[in-house]
Amino acid sequence: MALIKPKKILFPPSPSPDVTSYKLYVEPTADPSQLSYTSQSVDMGMPAAEADGRLGFDLGGADVLRTVDGIYDLGVVAIDDVGNESAMSTKLGVALDFSAPDAPGPVEVL
Amino acid sequence: MRIYRRALILFIVLASTLAWGQDTPTVPTLPEPVAWDLYVRTSDQVITIGWDPVTFERPIWYELLFYNLERRAWFARANVPQERTTFDVTLRSGHYIVYIRTGAKDAENADVFSEWCSSISETCTDGTAKWWVYTYLAPPGPIQ
């Protein structure tokens, strides 16, 4: 069984006190980028904070990415209790590889 | 019985005379035209509302209300003294209608108020477009 290295994004939380959750928007990189509020998205809920205070989210948990390697534009928004979304914090041209290489051939002991 | 009736009539006449000499309560004039100036500082969700001053024969104050549309609730209420024509408020994210009216004391020291003006009233926004206050959620920091 192959082992896929975890891929996690980290971002400082929004300073607004009304934030109840975060959402990740994903768009395969295009020229120009089509990353927008209509792109595919993943609800991150309220991610756990790392030791340095940044919030972390495992991209392996995003169904839209799990099986498709490629270059992606990522956007994260903060959401309040009535569904308002903040401006998007983006990172463009992220290379994501969820596929393990083929295993080597059979092992022989001489 | 006749004495009591005369006393009653005399009392009524005297009472009416006294009432005739009192100031009748007056309502402050509507603060119009009101030129609204809106300053939005989105980094810390502080909103500054400004308006034209109202002059009146007695000291006045301004009363402000903020109505949040998403939550359908009155969010903040403030009394602002006459010498100020701006007010800073920190609001939760969302859309707000701003209401303002003037208040004053009448001759009997009771509170009297003008009609409410609002940011969606064309007369109160000096004929300019109606507006809501919208406070933004601050975005997350850079992704790594």
Q: Looking at CA atoms only, how far is residue A68 from chain B in angstroms? A: 20
Q: From chain A, pick out residues whose CB is under 8 angstroms from the CB of B46.
A: none
Chain A contacts of B139, Cβ < 8 Å?
14, 76-78, 86-89
Above 60 in pLDDT, residue B120?
Answer: yes
Instruction: Determine the residue among A80, A82, A85, A92 to mutate to test chain B binding: the one whose Cβ has the most chain B Cβ atoms within 10 Å.
Output: A82
Query: Average pLDDT, whole number, for chain B?
Result: 70
What are the φ and ψ backbone dihedral angles of B114, each rounded to 5 degrees? -80, 180
Q: What percent of chain B has pLDDT over 90?
A: 1
The tens digit of pLDDT for each residue in A59-86 reads: 876 666 655 677 888 899 999 888 888 8
Tell me the pLDDT tens digit for each residue of B30-50.
444 344 554 444 445 667 788
Residues in Cβ contact with A109 at an 8 Å cutoff, skipping those fewer than 6 apart: none
pLDDT of residue A10: 92
The answer, as to whether pTM is greater than 0.90, is no
Cα–Cα distance for residue pair A15/B141, rounded to 1 Å: 9
Mutate to test the interface with B, among A84, A91, A94, A96 (most CBs of B within 10 A): A84
Q: How far is CA A45 from CA A13, A42, A49, B91, in A?
A: 12, 9, 12, 23
ipTM above 0.85, yes or no: no
Across B96-112, b (16+ Cβ under 10 Å) vs e yields bbbbbbbbbeeeeeeeb
pLDDT higher for A102 or B61?
A: B61
Angle at B107 between CA B7 and CA B11, to 5 degrees: 0
Query: Quick one: pLDDT at residue B70?
Result: 83
Name the residue facing B141 among A11, A19, A77 (closest C-beta).
Answer: A11
Cross-chain Cβ contact A82/B71 below 8 Å: yes
Q: Match 């003008």 to its residue by tokens.
A: B114
B31 or B127, higher pLDDT = B127
- Using CA atoms, how far residue B140 sits from A15, B5, B6, in Å, is 8, 82, 83
A88: nearest CA in chain B? B139
Shortest distance between the Cα of A41 and any Cα of chain B, in A, equals 16
Given B140, B143, B144, which is nearest A78 (Cβ)?
A: B140
Q: Is the pLDDT of residue B22 over 50?
A: no
pLDDT at A13 over 90: yes
DSSP A6: P
Distance, in Å, from the CA atom of B138 to the CA atom of A10, rounded to the nearest integer, reads 17
Residue A12 pLDDT class (50, 70, 90 cuts): very high
Q: What is the C-alpha separation between B134 and A8, in angstroms, rounded?
A: 33
> Which of B137, B142, B144 comes nearest A78 by C-beta?
B137
Give one DSSP letter per residue of B104-141, joined into a string. EE-TTS-EEE-PPEETT-TTTTTTS----EEEPPPPP-
pLDDT at B79 over 50: yes
**Assigned token pair, B66:** 């903020």
Distance, in Å, from the CA atom of A45 to the CA atom of B111, rounded to the nearest integer, reads 49
Q: Six-digit token pair at B1?
A: 């019985």
- For residue B64, give how far its alpha carbon lies from the nearest alpha carbon of chain A (Å): 23
Question: What's the average model confidence in pLDDT over B97-110?
Answer: 85
Quote the percentage of chain A above a pLDDT of 70. Answer: 80
Q: What are phi and psi of B16, to 5 degrees?
A: -65, -40
Instruction: Report which DSSP code applies to A3.
Output: -
Q: A50 with A56: CB under 8 angstroms?
A: yes
Query: How much of chain A, in percent, has pLDDT values that exceed 90?
Result: 20
Residue with tokens 């490629």: A70
Quote the pLDDT of residue B55: 79
Residue B20's pLDDT band (cuts 50, 70, 90): very low
